[in-house]
Amino acid sequence: MADLFKILTLREKKAVVEKGGGDAAIEKQVAMGKLPARERILSLLDKNSFHEYDMFVKHDGRDFGMDKKDFPGDGVVTGTGTIFGAPVCIYAQDFTVAGGSLGLQHARKITKIMDHALKMKCPIIGINDSGGARIQEGVSALAGYGEIFYRNTIASGVIPQISLILGPCAGGAVYSPALTDFVFVVENISKMFITGPNVIKTVLGEDISMEDLGGARVHAEITGNAHFYAVSEKECFEQVKRLVQFIPWNNSERAKKIKSKEPKTKLNIEDIVPSDPKQPYDVRDVIKCIVDDSDFLEIQELWAANIVIGFGRMAGETVGFVANQPMVLAGVLDCDSADKAARFIRFCDAFNIPIITLEDMPGYLPGVDQEHAGVIRHGAKVLYAYSEATVSKITVILRKAYGGGYIAMNSRHLGADFMFAWPSAEIAVMGPEGAANIIFRKEIMEAEDEDKMRQEKVKEYIEKFANPYVAASKGFIDSVIEPKETRSLILHALQLSVLKEENRPEKKHGIPPF
Amino acid sequence: MAKKNEKNEEYVDFVVTARKYKTLLTKKYENRSKWHKPVPGEVLSNLPGTVMEIKVKEGAKVKAGQLLLIHEAMKMLNRIVAPVDGTVTAIHVKKGEQIKKDHLMLTIKPN
């Protein structure tokens, strides 16, 4: 029965590796609200679908007594599985083993599964929970990071890349998630920064906690490094699974089609947008009136909330939404919202997801801080992303479309395939007050009652220009539509553009203003 | 004597992790503002604009999400809502007042 003996030996060896850093370390991990690495993977994948690779890989540290130490799996679990039937490659750093520190073999396990994902053309999911580079391995650890970043870049736009930050992710390690498409963070668990609070304190004397410097909330709300924010790991896993259902497996596929459902919201699309252009509303209510089942997956909900981005479905097929949000900062474009929209547009274009733009914005945010923060450079990203995109591009102008913002928000001039405007649309070179002050400057200055004349001229301008018909008369808008026709006309546009083909001059790659 | 470059600009000490380097600084770096921990319950303006209406009184108990005031900015009547549950301890603005960005408008003592 030599065979049985060998099988039992295998089982024993596997059991040792599966124990990771041992019971005490796992207990500590669980006490922090964190699951052990393998359990995290099992929570994400379909039942019984996980197949683990490279369990018996050994680290090759030789210095500082490392040769006498054994790290099960070298601190990272890698493998393949499925999520709702979609194949994925996955890895999870194991904090219980040497603090999840990254040595050369640890990195090689990761790069191997990344190469596999790129060859199999399926999404790659990385779970980050690591103290950082294994200092004892010196430059080999750095080599490991570099080889991961290189693959993140090569895979970019070919397969979807998803990062979960479920523990510390500091120093060089942060750049792998930063290069991926979607980053998930969890309250009190995720910590991301280049230099930690201790270094900042000693160097600059600035006192800040880890949470305030690079906690989940900070990355979801202030830095924009994170795309999804959850309060528990369980919620985070649900978010990941939901996202995976919306996106295709790779750039030569379309996202899986599901059964079409009518919007279920009780809201009436005609009642949401106030006719007074000064009144705010929640543009997500409009989206809910348009998408299948009123089901909208918002991305980067907390950061740059003056623009809304996310996925929904139309006739069962995934679409991306980009919408100005009048409820926040009056819906202006600024550095952050431009950055947010541009990256999302490029994701949609890379993965064959049509883009629907809902426009209601007063223009770019004025201010010294914006100008000095490079709003020109950031704003240009939106122009670049829309112009570059060859997927179906549909715009609905709900209300205000002024100035540079009108051009930027997927105008006809940047290659929109379908331009719709509601009767409430105001498409003009700038807001009526500003325009009247310039055009009728002389009349206003010479009038006996300047204010009265100004008001008259503003009114005159509104009547003449604050409508969709001037743009429509030049063919910049294809049709002025009733709000209640919006869903059916978008469906029509999508149906018509299924076979859309648009070619660009051959080039190695463009040079977007990032 | 302090070391200078050929343009007579003086190199200063600059600490990165555990080492000091001699270097020049950028204007942007020199003018950077120090981080301040945000105080929960302090309601700051996020745009320059005008206070149009104040919907609460000092001492009022408010719930997170409750309308506090209307702040006109970027030609929009923005609804400023309570960030937390608590009691309004001070209103720092008047109706019609023009305020800058990051102006303290209202203080709530969180529950």
Give A458 or A345, the one with higher predicted confidence. A345
Cβ contact (<8 Å) for B48 and A367?
yes
C-alpha count within 13 angstroms, C-beta hemisphere, residue A345: 29
Number of H helices, E strands in chain B: 1, 10
Residue B34, pLDDT score: 82
C-beta atoms of A431 and B78 within 8 A: no
Sign of the dihedral defined by the CA atoms of residues B99, B102, B104, B108, in that order? positive
Average pLDDT over residues B32-41: 85
Across A64-87, b (16+ Cβ under 10 Å) vs e yields eebeeeebbbbbbbbbbbbbeebe
| pTM greater than 0.95 (yes/no) | no
Contacts of B77 in chain A (CB under 8 A): 278-280
pLDDT, mean of residues A349-360: 98
Of the listed ranges A208-222, A429-443, A469-483, the one predicted with least confidence: A429-443
**pLDDT at A295 (0 to 100):** 97
3-state secondary structure of B79: strand
Indicate whether B31 pLDDT > 90: no
The arithmetic mean of pLDDT across residues A483-489, rounded, is 97
CB contact under 8 A, B47 and A330: yes
- B108 vs A68, higher pLDDT: B108
Residue A473 has a CB neighbour count (10 Å cut-off) of: 9
Query: Rounded to a whole number, what is the distance in Å from the CA of B88 to chain A's nearest CA?
Result: 23
What residues of B are in contact with residue A208 (Cβ under 8 Å)?
A: 35, 37
Backbone angles phi, psi at A53, to 5 degrees: -110, 160
Instruction: State residue A201's pLDDT score.
Output: 83
| Inter-chain residue contact B76 with A278, CB threshold 8 Å | yes
Whether residue A196 has pLDDT greater than 80: yes
Q: What is the mean pLDDT of residues B43-51?
A: 93
Tell me the residues of chain A between 208 and 267 that have a Cβ less than 8 Å away from chain B.
208, 212
Q: Which of B17, B72, B74 sits opposite A332 (nearest CB)?
A: B74
pLDDT given at position B1: 57
Q: Mean per-residue pLDDT for A132-142?
A: 91
Residue tagged 């709702």 (tokens): A84
CB contact at 8 A, A25 and A96: yes
Query: Rounded to whole angstroms, what are the CA distances from A165 to A246, A297, A455, B38?
Result: 21, 20, 55, 24
How far is C-alpha A470 from the geometric centre of its chain's CA atoms?
36
**pLDDT for residue A69:** 87
- Asked whether A295 and A313 are in contact (CB, 8 A), the reply is yes
Question: Do the Cβ atoms of B74 and A202 come within 8 Å?
Answer: no
Mean pLDDT of A11-23: 93
CA closest to B74 among chain A residues: A330
In this prediction the ipTM stands at 0.76
**Alpha carbon distance A473, A221 (integer Å):** 42
When scoring A195, A202, A203, A275 by the number of chain B Cβ atoms within 10 A, the one with the most, hence best to mutate, is A203
- Contact assignment for A280 to B17 by CB distance below 8 Å: no
- Average pLDDT score, chain A: 94
Tell whether the model's pLDDT for residue B2 goes beyond 70: no
Indicate the pLDDT class of residue A2, thresholds 50, 70 and 90. Answer: low
Give the tens place of pLDDT for each residue, A208-243.
999 999 999 999 999 999 999 999 999 999 999 999
Sequence-distant (≥ 6) Cβ neighbours of residue A237 within 8 angstroms: A40, A43, A44
Could you tell me how many CB contacts below 8 A there are between chain A and chain B?
A: 49
* Cβ contacts of B47 on chain A, cutoff 8 Å: 329-330, 365
Q: What are phi and psi of A153, to 5 degrees?
A: -70, -45
Asked whether the predicted pLDDT for residue A172 surpasses 80, the reply is: yes
